[in-house]
Amino acid sequence: MDYLYHYTTVDTLKLILENKTFRFKSLENMDDSEEAETEDYGNLGRFCYVSCWTENSNESIPMWKEYTEPEKGVRLRFPTDIFETVNDIGLSEEQMVQLNIPVEQFKKSNPLQYTKGLAEIEREDKVKFMPQTVKLASITYTKDTELLYPKVHSVHGTNISIENKLIGKFKHIDWEFQKEWRYQLFTHPIGMFTLIKNTQHGIPFNSNEFLNSIGNNPIEYEYFDIPFKEEALKGLEIVMSPIISQESKDQLNDILKTIPEHTLLPSSQKWR
């Protein structure tokens, strides 16, 4: 699969192109209000953030109506590989000095792979991304409640564990029209700087206390705006809504003056 498709509005496209970012929202704020829920650990999915796309290259009436304002609607086609990976460490130089970590030595010996933009967020010391890179996954549509509301909590002797691999991967079959793929991030509500600092001050990380606490912790971020590769704009294809207004067409033509390699197409559908 070379391309995915994203339904949005002309106004949002303007922001996407100005900022060169796509927005990742918490599952807590998705259209499927139950998607963040688990069988045994509440709405743990609130710590999962996604950017939603479709694999369907044919225009979809429900998608136009559900995810755009049809008089302002556009559908974007982007290549699937749109996020850049960089080496980083998730700590600022100031934080490393506070932790008595040799800055240059640590930078050389401990680089990690991050999706560009994530390490900057980690330096705010509110969340840790696990993993540190955006993952792309298709959605499976099902009626199986064990998949829709996965069991994520388990106890092994005195140890508690949480398994998040099923979160954000399944939706009820009623949503099958979406043919959805999504870029996904999963956060832990504690910063790496705090983890290291606590350890240095003789406060060991207690996984059981941490996992118990996240049952009630609110999310620190409603969304993340993650930068995409600028070269992903080469060959950008935009399809206009079947009933896009002339005002939106004019706005769209003005926006696209900054994107030399693009294709602007009318809808293949006919609406009143």
pLDDT at site 150: 92
pLDDT at site 160: 66
pLDDT at site 204: 64
Q: What is the Cα–Cα distance from 164 to 150, expressed in whole angstroms?
A: 9
Q: What is the Cα–Cα distance from 72 to 95, expressed in whole angstroms?
A: 45
The domain locations on the chain are: 3-265
pLDDT at site 197: 85
Element (H, E) at 115: strand 112-115
Do residues 236 and 77 lie in contact, with contact meaning Cβ atoms separated by under 8 Å? yes
Give the number of other Cβ atoms within 10 Å of residue 71's Cβ. 14
pLDDT at site 147: 94
Q: What is the Cα–Cα distance from 235 to 259, expressed in whole angstroms?
A: 9
pLDDT at site 67: 95
pLDDT at site 192: 86
CA distances from 127 to 29, 121, 202, 217, 218 (A): 18, 8, 21, 12, 12
Pairing of strands 48-54, 21-26: antiparallel
Give the number of other Cβ atoms within 10 Å of residue 140's Cβ. 14
Per-residue pLDDT of the chain (272 residues; tens, 9 = 90+): 799 999 999 999 999 999 999 999 999 998 887 899 998 888 889 999 999 999 999 999 999 999 999 999 999 999 999 999 999 988 988 998 898 888 777 767 678 899 999 999 999 999 999 999 999 999 999 999 999 999 987 777 666 677 888 899 999 999 999 999 999 999 988 888 888 888 777 666 666 666 666 766 788 899 999 999 999 999 999 999 999 999 999 999 999 998 989 999 999 999 98
pLDDT at site 80: 97
- Which ranges in 110-216 belong to alpha helices (H)? 118-122, 145-148, 192-200, 207-213
